[in-house]
Amino acid sequence: MDTAIPNDPSNKHPGLGRRKTRGQPKGRQVDLLALAEVRDLLGDRPRRPDLLIEHLHLIQDRYHALHARHLVALAQELRMALVEVYEVATFYAHFDVVMDGEEAPPPLTIRVCDSLTCALKGSDALLDGLAGAVGPEVRVIRAPCMGACHNAPAVAIGHALHEHATIETVTAATKEAVEAGHSHPHIPDYHGFDDYRAGGGYALLEECLNGTRDLETILTALEGSSLRGLGGAGFPTGRKWRFVRAEPGPRLMAINGDEGEPGTFKDRHYLETDPNRFLEGMLIGAWAVEATDVYVYLRDEYPQCREILDREIARVEAAGLSRHTKIHMRRGAGAYICGEESAMLESIEGKRGLPRHKPPFPSQVGLFGQPTLINNIETVFWVRDIVEKGPEWWSSNGRNGRKGLRSYSVSGRVKQPGVKLAPAGVTITELINEYCGGMEDGHAFKGYLPGGASGGILPASMSDIPLDFGTLEPHGCFIGSAAVVVLSDKDDMKVVGLNLLKFFEDESCGQCTPCRVGTEKAVKLLERPSWDQPLLGELAKVMTSASICGLGQAAMNPIKQIMKHFPEDLT
């Protein structure tokens, strides 16, 4: 270190060490060409930090990677620190950050789903086969659930979902994508704006907006129906709307469309068939809580749903049906943790999807610090029907003492997988035999996941439990978003458990030690020829009691259930 000369006139701060000066400004310098490219991509879009992820998608889509030069330019354009941009870009799986001197990935990526149902249907062999069947201009990697479990195995070619995939069909589709220079998602036929309006759609919303329908009518109908949040938490919907409306304004609304739970695809089903019924329920919710803005957070694995919503929202806005609020679309970037409501809020704000500590709850301090109504896509989908048909219509459905309807996403070893709209409280036996055509030929029913990867696993001997909120908890499981995966005598529970824990290890946000380290340790223990059950039990206790959010708290549920109900598979 230089020593300052106290009486040196060039020393502006006597007594302090003289600092060496740099010949150029500190840090990475902006590449003018990269800056021009970023500005061209952004166009007249606002330069706000909450749009960081949206802007990163623009760069990733154009250049097939996030090069360091573009990250530096984007940081300057948004007036953010480079470290803030970098930490977000490296958090999400669908962004490929390329630093100086590193090789960029090929222009096209094939993602092969390796979550449970796809694994049961041969995704491992598909992954190995594709690796040698495509050229160097294509990258083949593993990826988590894509919401296509009923059509497993599933593959994403670029952003285009390819279902019932085989090496031959994927290779042919990949060749077409390479020749065309892009891949485009298939847009299914759906009930569009004109047909929806012709069938009485948006009449209820119009009544709300013009004052002929009062708020109390809406809230009373929802409360009378006993409709609960269908994203997994199951909180009473009418009560939640009242809570948020009682908070001081301004208030906001956020729609959780990040259904990343392995085995879940019901929200996709409703967006691909009747998107305007969802939009009307959403806009009624925004009216009910006087939300100035609505943010729709949709997982990146559903580009076809995004295109549908872009089309239909434009029609809704042109018709003046959203004049009471402003609709914003937000695109996820491959992070299961963002299905947790507070992590979703962080992502909408342009940050890493790290769950927040509670309290305060989002209904009080939510998006951008404002009281926020958060609903799942399917929850608001049913608002119009419940109000128009009456709460008794909804609550009159149900079996085994339960009330309402449930959209069960069924996959695995059944003849007819798919979204099954059935009475709440059906048993797994009723669901398989009455709605799914029975078990696949040559397969005997062995067990089932009633609520996706985190909802636990039960044996066939416990097939008479009603599938609904509150019925499975005494058995160490929960219904969650009703993602039902059916297993057979051909399935090894040790393999099933390892598959599920590898998913949680990959998807842990890393914020808290019990989850970050616990999932890693669990995978290593499960990879051993013989499971150390006492040690796994201790690890499960720590993770369940000390993790910040539901991912770490529920990650060991399937392992605990396998050890309890399937000891024969562990010998």
Residue 481, in any domain of the structure: yes
Is residue 191 within 8 Å of 201, Cβ to Cβ?
no
Same domain, 380 and 354: yes
Instruction: Give the per-residue pLDDT at 174.
Output: 94
State the chain's maximal CA–CA distance in angstroms: 94
Between CA 342 and CA 350 the distance in angstroms is 13
Residue 186, in any domain of the structure: no
Q: For the domain that residue 44 is a member of, what is the CATH number?
A: 1.10.10.1590
Average per-residue pLDDT for the chain: 94
Instruction: Give the per-residue pLDDT at 24.
Output: 52
Instruction: Give the per-residue pLDDT at 195.
Output: 98
Residue 478, in any domain of the structure: yes
Encode burial over 96-135: b for 16+ CB neighbours within 10 A, e otherwise.
Answer: bbbeeeeeeebbbbbbbbbbbbbbbbebeebbebbeebbe
Query: How much of the chain exceeds pLDDT 70, in percent?
Result: 95
What's the total number of domains in the chain?
5
Q: Within 13 Å and on the Cβ side, how many CA atoms surround 90?
A: 11
Last residue of a domain, one of 50, 69, 98: 98
Same domain, 145 and 199: no
Instruction: Give the per-residue pLDDT at 22.
Output: 52
Same domain, 553 and 534: yes
Same domain, 221 and 81: no
Residue 145, in any domain of the structure: yes
Residue 501, in any domain of the structure: yes
Same domain, 94 and 203: no
Q: What are phi and psi of 218, to 5 degrees?
A: -65, -50
Residue 103, in any domain of the structure: no
Instruction: Give the per-residue pLDDT at 26.
Output: 60
Same domain, 221 and 339: yes
3-state secondary structure 307-348: HHHHHHHHHHHHCCCCCCCEEEEEECCCCHHHHCHHHHHHHH
Residue 396, in any domain of the structure: no
How would residue 183 be classed by pLDDT, with cut points 50, 70 and 90? Answer: confident
Same domain, 220 and 310: yes
Same domain, 502 and 480: no
How would residue 253 be classed by pLDDT, with cut points 50, 70 and 90? Answer: very high
Same domain, 450 and 540: no
Same domain, 174 and 245: no
Query: How much of the chain exceeds pLDDT 90, in percent?
Result: 91
Q: What is the pTM of this model?
A: 0.93
What range defines the domain where residue 71 resides?
37-98
Q: For the domain that residue 161 is a member of, what is the CATH number?
A: 3.40.30.10
**Of 126-135, 246-255, 276-285, 327-336, which gets the smallest average pLDDT?**
126-135
Same domain, 340 and 217: yes
How would residue 13 be classed by pLDDT, with cut points 50, 70 and 90? Answer: very low
Between CA 428 and CA 163 the distance in angstroms is 26
- The mean pLDDT value for 210-234 works out to 95
Q: For the domain that residue 478 is a member of, what is the CATH number?
A: 3.10.20.600
- The mean pLDDT value for 487-496 works out to 97
Instruction: Give the per-residue pLDDT at 3.
Output: 40
Q: For 317-331, write each residue's pLDDT tens digit.
A: 999 999 999 999 999
Q: For the domain that residue 230 is a member of, what is the CATH number?
A: 3.40.50.11540
Same domain, 116 and 235: no
Between CA 280 and CA 286 the distance in angstroms is 10
**CA distances from residue 313 to 269, 322, 333, 515 in whole angstroms, order as listed:** 18, 9, 21, 39
Last residue of a domain, one of 487, 522, 555: 487
